[in-house]
Structure formats: structure tokens, C-alpha cells
Chains A and B, each alone.
Chain A
Amino acid sequence: MRGLLIIPIIIPFIAGLVTFMIPRLKRIKQLITIAVTTYLLYYAIRLFLLPEIIEYYFSINFLRYRADFILKADHFSSLLVLFTYLFGFLISIYIVRSRDWVRSGDNQYLTYFLWTLAGVSGIFLSANLFFLLIFWEMVTAIFFLFINLGKGKLTAESARKTYVILGLTDAAFLFCVAFIWVKYNTLNIDAINIDATTGVIQKVVFFLLIATSFAKAGALPLHTWIPSISKNAPISVMALIPASLDKLMGIYLLSLVMLKLFNIPFLFNIIVMLIGALTIIIAGFMALIQNNLRKLLAFSAVSQVGYMILGIASGTIVGVIGGLFHMLNHAIYESGLFLCAGAVEKETGTVELEKLGGLYKKMPLVLIGNILLALAIAGVPPLNGFTSKWMVYQGLLQAGQPVFFVFAIFGSALTLAYFLKVIYSIYFGGESIVFQTTRKPSYLMSIPILILAFLCLIFGIFSSLPVSKFFIPIDFKILEGVQPIELLGNLSFVNTFWNPSLATTAIIIGFIIGIIMYFIGKAFKYREQPIYTGGERFELEERRVPGTDLFLTILELPFIGQYLKDRDKGNYDGYNIVKNIGWEAIVKKLKNMHNGILSTYLSWCILGFMIIMFVLMSR
């Protein structure tokens, strides 16, 4: 096992190359992909279960500097690799039937898929910041190619935006890594300890790294690429990368920066927490007013990042564990939700909520999965989203930040609200036009969704298991010496104002009552009569009550409504602002200066020459 740590990187990479070489043999490519992800899932489980920390390294001499290529599978890394390949495995099964990779018209889908897995596991396994950076940029580059698989002008624009945001932060990351190398002479993650309490550059580097992780995970104000690409990118790509792997990567970096690499004043924690809280609220509202399922899910993915940030930045043990746990939970249910959306889109051909409705008859399995996942993301006990959010709340209260606590609770309510809308609009609320043409989704698509939903349930009900097995052994300073029993004792919530086991019971009882009432309602027969108005027959479509109208009133609110509308148009999108200013004020001016007249060019030369002479002579 020792020398083989390179396997999770090299095998998918080689497999990717192989699939690159055989663009036409679709079946074989698919088999290769599934075989590779299955094997690596098995490998990752074994790696995770190994008790000791494994290292693998060779060092190269680079310019008289020694650069150690260290791969290290400590607890956290192997956990993340395990989940990377879990998602990889599930989605590789899912795409057999969803056929995103065929529809995208490009034969490289599976290649990019495998390379992404290789890059991501490289990020998690690198114990050297420099190689982490290289894998990081590799993932960005592949992701750019990936989202280009969609078609049309909008794809190009949103791909460019994605690239600008991710690329700019990658450049910032590069700057930080080079700075750390030069200043501290080491890039070994375990050895770096930067004191950001003094020194301006150190502070800047801290915030640049935070921005890098925010852009990847998709927190305000660098989140705008996720909603933009969500409209056109293949949905399995959305489920794999922005919904799950990007969260793992971004929060991994965030936790490294906040908990391992830097020594920061508490003020910085508060700033980061503030961004997290704003992310929850603003993205939550944005999700509320969306009528496109893909965009709604994208905003919900952004909104949830806020909890992870709040938890990790709270600086308390419960909060940190809650944040990390939420990262994992989020990756599970968000990718599940995207897969549900993919199933709906594949079978109905649309993701506009207005056009959907009454699908519960056609896709019951997806419905069950979707409900569980939606409840999990909304933080309803006993699902996993509840536990991790609860821990984040606890952490916030322990850190003495009741304001952020209120934000977080409110965000949770928002989440519940818009997923109510989603479930209602898609599966209930009368049959729409597309209903007739809808087919039953394949089991190969339903099963990954159900597995993810099942995971949500398991992690919720037996939440002490992941907490004690997954997160407490992580070697962050703050988690040293934490005893599972103690922490779980803390988490028994007795000392707070809400008894969750009671609440859980109450909610379950509520559900049961609701179901009973539903069936009672069904039991009484009622007559259906076509509607006549002035002798004209109403069409089926107009008789429905679409779920999209549920929250329209929000847009009517005086201040918030206008803000949300503007935001939806992209008026507050930093990318658009910078693009306009940069284009109009700088590039156009420069272009106008190059006016093709020889005398202008000559006078530049003379001017430059004069300045040089002046500088030289003035000494």
C-alpha cells in the first residue's frame, strides 16, 4: 500500500488517456470508466480503513531547490479521496443511462471525467502546497473544457466568466504559493505556520487564499459562475463538480488556511463568518425566486456553502466539526439533487418549473430520493443536514455570535421554502403538457439517487458515527485531544433550549399524520368536471396551480424585491462590473491610442526616450 499512493492519481489519468485515444468506441470507454471508478472506490475504502498515515514521496531538484513531491494520506485526505471516488462511482453509473456524454456531442466527456477525478484526488493527497497548486490548476483547466461541452453562445459567455473567476483566483493562489516558498522556504503543508497577526503581506496572502477557496466552493461574491454555467452545462457535470467536488476542494483549502497554515486574529474569523452569513441569506433569496430548476439548485449550492464557512470560521470545536460535516453532507445531497434534476430533464426535456408537474406517477423512485434529499438540505431532522447545521449553530453560539446564528436559522427556513416549491412543482400540482411524453427513468439513474438519499438518512440517524470516525481524528490543531464521548455528550443538546429527539419524534408524527390525511382525502371520491366559462372549455394546462407562483410576492417587496431583480439580471455581478470597466476604460482607450498614424508612434518613442534620458541624467 505504501508506494502505491500514486494509484488514485495515475490510474484515472491513464484511463483518461486511453479513452482519449479511442473516441469512437463508446461502450468500451464506458466500461473502462466504471471499472476504474469501482476499483478506486474499493481502493479508497481500503486506504481509509488503514490505521496509519501513509506517505509516498520522491524529491526532484529544481534549480538547486529541492522540491519534494510528497503524497500523504492522512485521515482527512483519505476521507476526502473516499468520497471523491464515491461520487465518481455513482455518477459513472448514472451517466450510462443519462447519456450526457453522448448528447453533449463531444467524445471527450469521459476523458475529462476521469482526469477530474485524478486531479481532485491529487489535490487531496498532496502534502506539498506546490503540487496541490498544480493539481488545482489542472482541475480548473479540465473543468473549463468540461463546461464547454454545452452548446450555444450562452455557454461560451458563462464559460468565460467561470474561467475569469477561477483563473484569477488561481493566479492569486500561485502568487501566495510563490510567496510562501520564498518567505518561509517550505511548502510542506504540515510545516507551514504563518503568523498573520503582523505583517501586511501575510494578511493579504491570507485573504487571497480565502478568496481562492471561496471561488472554488462558490461563496459570495465569487459565486456568480455557478448559476451561470448551471443553465447549459451537462447536468452530471454540475452534480459532480460544482455540487460536490468543488465543495470538497474549496472547503478543504479553507479549512487548511483557517485551521492549519495560518495563525490569525479573531477579527478575521468574524470577517469570514460575515461573508458566510451573507452568502446564506442572499443566495437563499436568489434561489427562492428562480423558476429554472438548474439555476435554483445552483443557488442552493451556493447558499449552503455559507454554513460550512460559518462553522469552520467559528473557531470552536463543535463548529469546525459541524462545518466539515456539512461539507460532506452537502456534497451528498446536492449532487443527489442535481442527479434528480438530471433525471427529470432527461425524461421530460425541460427544467422550467412552470412546465413540470404531477410527475409522481411517472417517477416514484426519484420522488422518494428527491424528497429525502430536499429534506436533508433543508435541515429537517433526522436527516444529516439537520445534524451538521445544528452543530454549526452550536458552534456559533459557543463563539458568541448570536447574530450569525440568526442568519443561519433564517437561511435554513429559506431552504425549506424553496425546496417545498421544487417538490411541489415537479411532482405534484397537476399534470402539465410534458407529462404525456414523459417516460419512466431507468433504474441505473434512480439507484445512484437512492444511494445518496440513503446515505443522507444513515448519516442523519447515526450521526455520531461519522462525527467520531470521520472528523474527530483529523489532525487540525483545534481538534487535538478531543474525545468523541465528550463531544457527543455536548451534542446531546440537553443544555440548550431545544430537545431534538423530541422534535424529531414530533416531526415524524407530523409526517405520519400528513400522510394519513392525504390518504383519507384520497378515500373520499370526488367528481371531476371540466370547467366551462362562457361556453369555452379550459385547457388542462390552465387549470393547474404551478408552484412557481408560490413566492412571487417577494419580488413585490419594496427594497429587497428590487434588489433581487437587479441581482438576477447580473447588475451586482462583480464580473460584469469589472468587465465593463476594464473593457471600456482600459482596453478601448489603449486600442484607440494605437491609431495607425506613424507620427503618433514616433512621438511615443521620443517621449519614452526623453523620460529615460531624464531619469538617467537626474542622478
Chain B
Amino acid sequence: MDKVLPFFVAIPIFSAIFMLLIGKWEKKIFPRIWSIITTATLVFLISLIWEKGTIIHVMGGWRPPYGIIMIKDHLSLLMLIIVNVVAFLSIIYSYSYITKYEDYLRFFSLFMLMLAGMNGVVLSGDIFNLFVFLEIASLASYALVGYGVGAEELEASFKYLILGAFASLLILFGIGIIYSVTGSVNMADIARFLINNSGNKAVLMATGLFLFGFGLKAGLVPFHAWLPDAHSSAPAPISAMLSGVLIKVLGIYALMRVFYHVIGVSELILNIFLVIGSLSMVVGALMGFGQDDIKRLFAFSSISQMGYVMVGIGLGTPLGIIGALFHLLNHAGFKSLMFLSSGAIEDETGTRSLSELGGLRQKMPVTSASSVVGALSISGVPPFNGFWSKLIILIAALKVGNIWVSVIIVLTAFFTLSYYLRFQKNAIFGDIGKKVEGAREVPIPMVVPLVLLAIICLLVGIFNHSIISNIIIPAQETLLDRSGYILSVLGNL
């Protein structure tokens, strides 16, 4: 079954190139259908490796630690599910959404490249490959953010590009340092080396570089400045991908993998996680208050929610990590839902400003209903999914005895609820705004992902227990089991 793994990267890359080739003859229908087929295939591929536990694919027959390997464990599986399902839904959504742009081809091929990059990051078993895939995904996302080539889109894209490139460089620098210390780029091999030789100052340097680099990709405060610009300027399905999965895969997942498995966490690093996480929660939530643009509001809320995840990771206890991973999953669901519905709203009304919207419920009932579900989930109203993950993180913080963090968690939950209620009040309910009068319900391909995501939010909330015990807890056990990771890659070398 290990032969399946390279296909997660190969299929989207191949499909991107294939689309460009065929695009000479057929520019409109083919790329859309072809991308739906591609992403559907990827989702189907996940089902093949679902039950298989840890799978390692050795590229080209070179045994680790020398060759390149791809590894799927429970953590990767969780991320794979998030990435591909959200990508699938976004692609379905794009089927109608893309009609507002002229060039369909490049949108879908860049999308596929980004998807390939993210799948690569998740599956990669060696740190340099992780970097390469990270760059592929980032490059595609820079281009996609500026896809509208309006002034603001380009500005956002350029800022994102400069900051992202800066972060990538420093990550590469850190990888160089790690390589110079350990003489290996295989993550398990590095980990084995570092367990035996701890206390190297150069590794600390690399730690700082990784924290900065991946932290920037995850949009954590104070490295968050690109995020609200980029996420609000990108086309809606891309915003959904960026907020829903990209910051998680390139940022949070990479941080988790690198720190929990490769470098190893210490009290100090966990505390840094906690501080950065709390800072992100508070700053994101406060900024969310002052926004008029709905997409910017959602973007700041992403920062805030990533703060939750970081706090959960930073607690370092099994419960905290369960909370963090569950929140990661939930956030992918409701944030992509919010961004997709914001795209639908913008499409119909031509505005994203809260002060100009209002009364959408009467004009776009399905979109409104699903975005209300999303808003309730993200603001942590039981029984939707966001409530449970926030509750778990809160309980974990209290179990550790960290009162300050738990107070911040509760306050942020309150702030989140208030600015989402503001969104609902000003956009969905209330009197019909001027620009809303001509709005109608969006076409079916845009409605379907919204409804599906809303249903996912509700179902995950209701069946939280089985989701946690089947997907989250194995991932958490994998994450905390550093020697198990080394053992599974290197065997008893």
C-alpha cells in the first residue's frame, strides 16, 4: 500500500501540467472538470490508506536515512484528510466562482500545485523535502493571492511574498544549521542524533529560526501582518484554502512535526508556544472587533483561532494536544465555510463591507443559514464543533493549572462570539442593505460546498466523541511518541 503515497504529490502536479497542455484547445470546461476529478481521486486515495496505520514509502530504493522517504502516520492522515477534503470542496465551489475571472487555466493549475505542495509537506519524511514542498505551496499561493491583479490584490500578494520569502530563507538557514550539526536531513535520523547529543547551541539557533519561519507561515502574532491582507484579497476559494489549510499545514503542522518529533520540546519551547499562542488569540480577537470588511474580519479570527491551537500544543499534555488537533480540524471546516460564504456574498452584492450589507437572510437563505452555522461553530456555541475543541483546550489549561492562559481562552471565546454576532447582525439579519437588494441565491456548485461544510460542522460537533477517539487521539499519540516515530522510520538501526 505504500506505493500510494507518492501519488498524493504526483497526481496534482501531473494534473496541473496536463491542464496547461490541454488548455491549448479547451480553456473553460476542461480545467474545471479535470480539477474536480483530480481532487476527488485524492479524497478517494485517502480511503485506501485510512486503516493502514503507519506507512513508509522509500523513494528509489534508498533506505533511510540515506534516501528520500514519504511517511504517513496518524498525524499526517489527519492533515491529509483536512487538506484534500477542503480542496475538493473549494474546487467544486470554484466551478462557478471562477467565471468572474478570464483565465481559468492558470487558476486551476496553480491550485493543483499548491495542493501538491501541501500534500508533500504532510507526507514528507525529510526536512529538506518538507522545505521544498513548502516553497512550492507558498509560491503557488503568492501567485493565487494576486490572481485578481487589482491594486489591492497585488499589494497583498507582494507583501505576502516578501514576508513569506524572508521566512522561507530563514527556514532554509535553520535547515542548514541542523544539517551541519547532525549531518542528515532525514527527520528521524536528526531526531535520533539530537536525542543522544542534546544541548548544542547551534540547535537553539535553528530552533529560533524555525519558530520564526513556521510561525510566520502560520500567521502567528507578531509575524501575522501578511495574513489579513492576503486572506482578504485572494479569490474566495483560495482564501478558504489559505485560512482553512495552508496556514495549518505550512505553519502549525510543520511546527508540530519539527518540534515534537525532530528537535524535541522542552519546557522553554512550550512556554514560547504558549506566549505566542496567547498573544495571537488576544490580538486577533481585538483586531476582529474593529473590522468592517468581512473577509478581513475572518482573517483576523483565523489568527485568533491559530492562537488556540498553539496554546493547545504549548500545553504539551495529551489533553491539550487533543484539543489543539481537534480545533485544527474544526477550524478547517468552519473557516473555509466562512470564506466561501463571504465569496458568495461578495459575488452577489459586490461589497464586503459590514456597513453596506444586511438582511441577506431574506435574499440568500441557504448561504445565510450555512454561514450562521459556521459563525456559531467558530464562536463556540454548543452543540457545534468549535465549542468542544475550545472546551477541551480550556480544560487542559486548567488541568495544568495555568490560570492566566485559561482566562485568556475564555475571554477570547467571548470576543470571538461578539464579533461573529456583529457579523450576523449586520450582514445576515437586520434590514436589507442597499447593495443587497439585487442579490439572489448563488448557483448550485457554490451552494453545495457551503451546505456540506455546514453539515460537517454540525455532525462533527454532535459526534465529537467518535471523531476524537478515531482520528484525533491516534494523531495525538503519534505526536507525543517521538521514539516511536524514529523507530518506525529507521527500524532498529
Which A residues are within 8 Å of any B CB, using their own CB? 60-63, 134, 137-138, 141, 144, 148, 151, 156, 159-160, 163-164, 167-168, 170-172, 174-175, 178-179, 181-183, 201, 583, 586-588, 590-591, 594, 596, 598, 600-602, 604-605, 607-609, 612-613, 615-617, 619
Residues on B with beta carbons closer than 8 Å to the beta carbon of A144: 421
Contact A167 B272 (CB under 8 A): no
Contact A601 B406 (CB under 8 A): no
Given A601-B163, A604-B225, A616-B208, also A167-B287 (CB < 8 A): no
The reply on B79 being an interface residue by CB < 8 A is: no
Of residues 386 through 432 on chain B, the ones whose CB sits less than 8 Å from some CB of chain A are: 391-392, 394-395, 398-399, 403, 406-407, 410-411, 413-414, 417-418, 421-422, 425, 429-431
In the complex, the chain A residue whose C-beta lies closest to that of B225 is A601
Residues on A with beta carbons closer than 8 Å to the beta carbon of B223: 604-605, 608
For the complex of A and B, list the 7 residue pairs with the smallest distance between their C-beta atoms, beginning with the closest.
A601-B225, A171-B414, A182-B398, A608-B222, A604-B222, A613-B208, A175-B410
Of residues 218 through 265 on chain B, the ones whose CB sits less than 8 Å from some CB of chain A are: 222-223, 225-226, 228-229
- Distance in angstroms from A203 CB to nearest chain B CB is 13
Q: A601 to B225, alpha carbons, bound, how many Å?
A: 6
- Chain A contact surface mostly: helix
Contact B413 A174 (CB under 8 A): yes
Supply 12 further A-B pairs (C-beta < 8 A) apart from A171-B414, A602-B163, A608-B222.
A63-B322, A134-B383, A160-B425, A163-B421, A167-B414, A167-B417, A174-B413, A182-B399, A590-B290, A591-B290, A598-B158, A608-B215
The reply on B177 being an interface residue by CB < 8 A is: no
In the complex, the chain B residue whose C-beta lies closest to that of A607 is B222
- Distance in angstroms from A282 CB to nearest chain B CB is 27
Given A171-B411, A175-B407, also A588-B204 (CB < 8 A): no
Q: A172 to B394, alpha carbons, bound, how many Å?
A: 12
In the complex, the chain A residue whose C-beta lies closest to that of B398 is A182
- Distance in angstroms from B299 CB to nearest chain A CB is 11
Residues on B with beta carbons closer than 8 Å to the beta carbon of A156: 425, 430
- Distance in angstroms from B391 CB to nearest chain A CB is 7
Residues on B with beta carbons closer than 8 Å to the beta carbon of A616: 204, 207-208, 268, 272
The reply on B216 being an interface residue by CB < 8 A is: yes
> What are 27 of the A-B contact pairs (CB < 8 Å)?
A63-B322, A141-B381, A163-B421, A168-B414, A170-B414, A171-B411, A171-B413, A174-B391, A175-B394, A175-B410, A178-B394, A182-B395, A182-B398, A182-B399, A590-B287, A591-B287, A598-B159, A598-B162, A602-B162, A602-B166, A605-B167, A605-B225, A609-B208, A612-B208, A615-B268, A615-B272, A616-B268
- Distance in angstroms from A583 CB to nearest chain B CB is 8
- From B207, B216, B286, B425, A590 is in contact (CB under 8 Å) with B286
Given A156-B425, A179-B398, A182-B395, also A164-B410 (CB < 8 A): no
The reply on B283 being an interface residue by CB < 8 A is: yes
Q: Mark B203-220, 1 if CB is under 8 A from A, else 0.
A: 011011001100110000
In the complex, the chain B residue whose C-beta lies closest to that of A618 is B268
Q: A182 to B430, alpha carbons, bound, how many Å?
A: 41
- Distance in angstroms from A234 CB to nearest chain B CB is 16
- Distance in angstroms from B487 CB to nearest chain A CB is 26
Q: A612 to B174, alpha carbons, bound, how many Å?
A: 14
Contact A586 B207 (CB under 8 A): no
Q: A76 to B293, alpha carbons, bound, how many Å?
A: 49
Q: Mark B278-297, 1 if CB is under 8 A from A, else 0.
A: 00000100110110000000
- Distance in angstroms from A537 CB to nearest chain B CB is 45
- From B403, B429, B464, A201 is in contact (CB under 8 Å) with B403
- Distance in angstroms from B424 CB to nearest chain A CB is 9
Given A172-B410, A587-B289, also A160-B422 (CB < 8 A): yes
The reply on B350 being an interface residue by CB < 8 A is: no
Residues on A with beta carbons closer than 8 Å to the beta carbon of B229: 596
Q: What is the number of contacts between chain A and chain B, taking CB atoms within 8 Å?
A: 127
Contact B166 A178 (CB under 8 A): no
- Distance in angstroms from A597 CB to nearest chain B CB is 9
Residues on A with beta carbons closer than 8 Å to the beta carbon of B410: 171-172, 174-175
**Among A134, A167, A605, A615, residue most surrounded by chain B Cβ atoms (within 10 Å):** A605
Residues on B with beta carbons closer than 8 Å to the beta carbon of A590: 283, 286-287, 290
The reply on B382 being an interface residue by CB < 8 A is: yes
Residues on B with beta carbons closer than 8 Å to the beta carbon of A134: 382-383
In the complex, the chain A residue whose C-beta lies closest to that of B399 is A182
Residues on A with beta carbons closer than 8 Å to the beta carbon of B392: 63
Contact B208 A601 (CB under 8 A): no
Q: A616 to B203, alpha carbons, bound, how many Å?
A: 10
- Distance in angstroms from A399 CB to nearest chain B CB is 34
Contact B418 A163 (CB under 8 A): yes
In the complex, the chain A residue whose C-beta lies closest to that of B211 is A612
Of residues 140 through 186 on chain B, the ones whose CB sits less than 8 Å from some CB of chain A are: 158-159, 162-163, 166-167, 170
- From A148, A174, A601, B159 is in contact (CB under 8 Å) with A601
Q: A554 to B288, alpha carbons, bound, how many Å?
A: 44
Given A604-B225, A609-B208, also A178-B391 (CB < 8 A): yes
Contact A181 B395 (CB under 8 A): yes
Contact A601 B226 (CB under 8 A): yes
Q: A63 to B393, alpha carbons, bound, how many Å?
A: 12
- Distance in angstroms from B303 CB to nearest chain A CB is 11
Contact A164 B211 (CB under 8 A): no
Given A61-B465, A62-B465, A171-B413, also A605-B407 (CB < 8 A): no
- Distance in angstroms from B462 CB to nearest chain A CB is 11
Residues on B with beta carbons closer than 8 Å to the beta carbon of A175: 394, 406-407, 410
In the complex, the chain B residue whose C-beta lies closest to that of A148 is B429
- Distance in angstroms from B68 CB to nearest chain A CB is 30
- Distance in angstroms from B280 CB to nearest chain A CB is 11
Q: A83 to B269, alpha carbons, bound, how many Å?
A: 55
Q: A600 to B410, alpha carbons, bound, how many Å?
A: 31
Q: A175 to B411, alpha carbons, bound, how many Å?
A: 9
Q: A600 to B223, alpha carbons, bound, how many Å?
A: 11
Q: A201 to B401, alpha carbons, bound, how many Å?
A: 11
The reply on B468 being an interface residue by CB < 8 A is: yes
Residues on A with beta carbons closer than 8 Å to the beta carbon of B13: none
The reply on B319 being an interface residue by CB < 8 A is: yes
Residues on B with beta carbons closer than 8 Å to the beta carbon of A141: 381
- Distance in angstroms from B63 CB to nearest chain A CB is 34
- Distance in angstroms from A589 CB to nearest chain B CB is 10
Q: A110 to B167, alpha carbons, bound, how many Å?
A: 55
Residues on B with beta carbons closer than 8 Å to the beta carbon of A600: 225
Contact B222 A60 (CB under 8 A): no
Residues on B with beta carbons closer than 8 Å to the beta carbon of A61: 465
Q: A201 to B180, alpha carbons, bound, how many Å?
A: 49
- From A137, A148, A182, A605, B222 is in contact (CB under 8 Å) with A605
- Distance in angstroms from B335 CB to nearest chain A CB is 20
Residues on B with beta carbons closer than 8 Å to the beta carbon of A604: 222-223, 225
- Distance in angstroms from A52 CB to nearest chain B CB is 31
Q: A588 to B429, alpha carbons, bound, how many Å?
A: 27
Q: A11 to B426, alpha carbons, bound, how many Å?
A: 32
Residues on B with beta carbons closer than 8 Å to the beta carbon of A587: 286-287, 289-290
Contact A167 B418 (CB under 8 A): yes
Residues on B with beta carbons closer than 8 Å to the beta carbon of A168: 414
Q: A601 to B155, alpha carbons, bound, how many Å?
A: 14
Residues on B with beta carbons closer than 8 Å to the beta carbon of A181: 395, 398
Residues on B with beta carbons closer than 8 Å to the beta carbon of A608: 212, 215, 222-223
